[in-house]
Structure 1
Amino acid sequence: MIVPTPSDGAVAYILKMYPRFSETFILSEILELERQGLDVRVFSLKLPNDGRFHADVARVRAPVSYLPPSVLANARAFAAPHWQVFNWNRRRYLRLLFRTFRRRRWGAVKRFMQAGYIAPRLKAEGITHVHAHFASSATSVAHHLHQLAGTSYSFTAHAKDIYIDGVAEDVLKRKMHHARFVVTVSDYNQVHLATISDDTPVTRIYNGLDLDHFSPNGAHPDAPPLILAVGRLVEKKGFDDLIQACAILRDQGASFRCHIVGTGPEERKLRNLIATLDLDGMVSLPGPMPREELIRLYPRASVVAAPCVIGADGNRDGLPTVLIEAMALGVPVISTAVTGIPELVQHQRTGLS
């Protein structure tokens, strides 16, 4: 991760929601930055709603500030900090406010209001750089902070935030143009972003792991063999293909179990498919698991499957962290040649694809 050195003072992380159960890569990044001595502050645009948390969240030292959940319902909370920002440079504030309202999108107004709420806090704490994850709402707030207060910013682009059909390339280009730098998680993404804007440095940094936790621990695969998949239950994960593949294995007489760990909007659809294919007892959806439980579960698997696909709306995975975790623990992996996955899973060398 490329960020200002600790001598530059604290760095603020702007996140849509923190902590988020599925975004272990952000948790790992913050922990590593703190280990290296960086003073991190977290600003979360939304309260967490997952209901479960990874144990490593307790290791994070960074203070977390949650913004008021509604701009309209909490108008008074936003008024005072915006009055401060207005008085820093009235002409600039009014110009940016007019430009924001001219877009006629409530989302843009909301991000402007959130930026104005955060800006005085950054100034009071001497924070001059912010980093956002995902090129969507969090980066929009970082971009507004840059315009309102001159704060430099950077962001990490992942997948949905740059590929889904609703992404406006002109908006993404503008965010890239004003950023100090951009990070992304695969060479595939780096090439894609270079086609949108070539005037801002884009650095590829693969999601990292703490190898003190993710290393072979002597556990052995279960019998009968366990096929393990982990991820949000959404179209781009391709779990319906995995379930249909399990039906083929069953029909060929194979003995196995399959766990698909996670939660998401496609859960009912996947359960119905399991029932339709008469795979109850062989394929299960045990729900989400904290990372510490997954570390114990991975080595029991004979293979970790990530059957990723490109969704109908263009949504896709960047480079699934589950594959990195499984390989670090010495578990064989099988995946598809989508986006950056071939950079990690090289067919018949580091896995199957």
Structure 2
Amino acid sequence: MVKFMPENPLFVLGQFPTYSETFIYRELILLVKHFSNARIVVLKKNRYVLPNPDFACLEQYIVFKQDGFLRHLPRVIFLIIVNPLKTLKYLLMIFSLYFPQKDLLVYIRDFFYFLHIGLYCRENGITHIHACQANYPAACALTIMMFFGFSFTFSAHANDLYTDLASLKYKISKTGGVICCSKNNLHYLSQTYPEQAHKIICIYHGLAAAEENPYLNRRKNTEDLKESTKKNQAALSLLAVGRMVPKKGFTALIDLAQLLCSQKTAFHLDIIGGGPEEKILKQLIREKNLEDYITLHGQYSYSRVKDFYAGADFLLVPSLAMKNLDSDQIPNVILEAFRYGVIVIANNTGAIHEAVINRKTGFLVKSNFIREASSIINNRKNSTMYQAIRHHASALIAEKFNIHKNINHFIQVLEKK
């Protein structure tokens, strides 16, 4: 395994800011505090508002791939000219991995950007590169390693792990280590690439340990919550949070709401998030006359979302296992719900079972989400069991998903202690 010198690491991030990578931003805040000379390169700059104002502190460490590119371009071209064998090796690699996929043209174009980032590393005393995702960021780190000799590691999560399978084996063979966010991913990679299993470890994402459990003072305290529940103040508050993409399974929530209505259950469902399926959900809500029972709120910052957690009775996580192997591992919303004492009802997909232990830290649905979720919601009178679930879920964060403990492990891996 490559010997690391991570005193001045560079973290390669896919995009910033975005709602889908907040769990990575939380970790980066702690990592840049530990590695005082660390830098972050962002490969795609978004125009979104920061999902959490706490992430603003990262901006002082960030450079974007376009920054200074034109200034470096003559040197990049010179680097290519004087390194014909390395250039040929790179081109042969991407042709063998991506031809005839459209990604081939992307990697030919971004070859120049990757070398530009490599020059930035050399000029700024970077000693190690960690790619925060297994797809595009890891490809960037791999290219820089090929031309400049920097050691690199990368993290593997969900979508990034299963959507670039063509190059994954090659990246693992060249990296010094792979950090997975679940045992499910660890087992998948170790079984698929057994000769590289010694490089692969699991370090969970997490949340900061709270001094006081927020659910002890749970209350509805925003205008949005008042608006969504004013039709029936005694109604159960159901919540779903996430991107509106197929693997989240949010269309099942519409059928669940229709079933609860037929069972005369008093409830209101708040769905927070945005994405390509938002129009489909709006149409289904209209077609089934559920406007009085479901509110789509769009994307909110975490400071607003946590108020919904504070007022919710159940968090619904109907995630699906997709045909392309992409599925949720451990959605961060589950951990956030644990923090606020919200009872989680989740489909047993991906690595969700590593957090949601059935009837201990939540309810894990193994067959029909709509039928089983409605049964759980309508049989909620066992207050002793629910209090025990909240206690065990809170304890699980402290034991298994404590971000400070897990980041210390992350740092030890980089430092090879």
Structure 2 length-normalised TM: 0.76
How far is the alpha carbon of 1:61 from its aligned partner? 6.1
Aligned to 1:342: 353
Q: 1:173 and 1:288, CA in 2 relative to 1: closer, same or farther beyond 3 A? A: same
1:252 match: 263
Q: Whole-Å Cα distance in 2 between the matches of residues 281 and 15 of structure 1?
A: 41
Q: Which residue is 2:86 aligned to?
A: 93
Question: Unaligned 5+ residue runs, structure 1?
Answer: none
Once residues 101 and 76 of structure 1 are traced to their aligned partners in structure 2, the CA distance between those partners, rounded to angstroms, is 24
Report if the CA contact (8 A) 1:25-1:321 is conserved.
Answer: yes
Question: Structure 2: which amino acid aligns with 1:160?
Answer: N
Quick check: 1:18–1:46 contact (8 Å CA) kept in 2? Answer: yes
SS in 2 for 1:218: helix
Name the SS of the counterpart of 1:349 in structure 2: coil
The 5 Å alignment of 1:292-331 reads 292-331=303-342
Specify the SS of the correspondent of 1:142: helix
Range with greater deviation from structure 2 (188-197 or 99-108): 99-108
Shift of 1:39: 3.4
C-alpha distance in 2 between matches for 1:265 and 1:146: 36
Instruction: Report the Cα offset of residue 288 of structure 1.
Output: 0.8
Q: How many aligned positions are there?
A: 341
Match of 1:265 in 2: 276
| Larger CA deviation: 300-309 vs 126-135 | 126-135
Residue of structure 2 in register with 1:275 after alignment: 286
Give 1:208-219 correspondences, 5 Å limit: 208-212=206-210, 215-216=213-214, 218-219=216-217
Tell me, in whole angstroms, the C-alpha distance in 2 between the residues paired with 1:90 and 1:14: 24
The answer to whether the Cα contact below 8 Å between 2:69 and 2:113 also exists between their aligned partners in 1 is no
Query: Is 1:237 matched with 2:233?
Result: no
Structure 1 residue 107, shift from structure 2 partner: 2.1
Q: Give deviations 1:284-332, integer Å, cap 9, x for gaps.
A: 1101111122222212100111110023443211210100111122221
Q: 1:126 aligned to 2:137? A: no
Change (3 A) 1:257 1:9: same
Corresponding residue for residue 181 of structure 2: 185
User: Which of these two proteins has the greater Rg computed from alpha carbons?
Assistant: 2
Give 3-state SS (helix, strand or coil) of 1:17's partner: coil
The 5 A counterparts of 1:1-353 are 8-60=6-58, 62-68=60-66, 76=70, 79-83=73-77, 85-86=79-80, 90-99=83-92, 102-103=95-96, 104=99, 105-164=104-163, 167-169=164-166, 171-198=167-194, 199=196, 200-212=198-210, 215-216=213-214, 218-220=216-218, 223-353=234-364
Q: Match of 1:181, as an amino acid?
A: G
Identity %, equivalent residues = 26
Q: TM-score, normalised by structure 1?
A: 0.89
Report which stretch shifted further, 14-23 or 265-274: 14-23
AA of the residue aligned to 1:174? Y
CA contact under 8 A between 2:4 and 2:151: conserved in structure 1?
Answer: no
CA contact (8 A) 2:11 2:130 kept: yes
- Matched with 2:380 is none
Tell me the distance in 2 between the aligned counterparts of 1:260 and 1:17: 24
Alpha-carbon separation, structure 2, partners of 1:208 and 1:77: 40
Deviations 1:325-352 (A, max 9, x none): 1112222111011011001101111100
Distance, in Å, in 1 between the alignment partners of 2:210 and 2:22 is 16
Aligned residue identity for 1:302:
D
Kindly provide the amino acid, as one letter, of the partner of residue 257 in structure 1.
H
Equivalent residues of 2:215, 2:341 under 8 A apart: no
- Secondary structure of 1:14's counterpart equals strand
List gaps (5 residues or longer) in structure 2. 221-233, 365-417
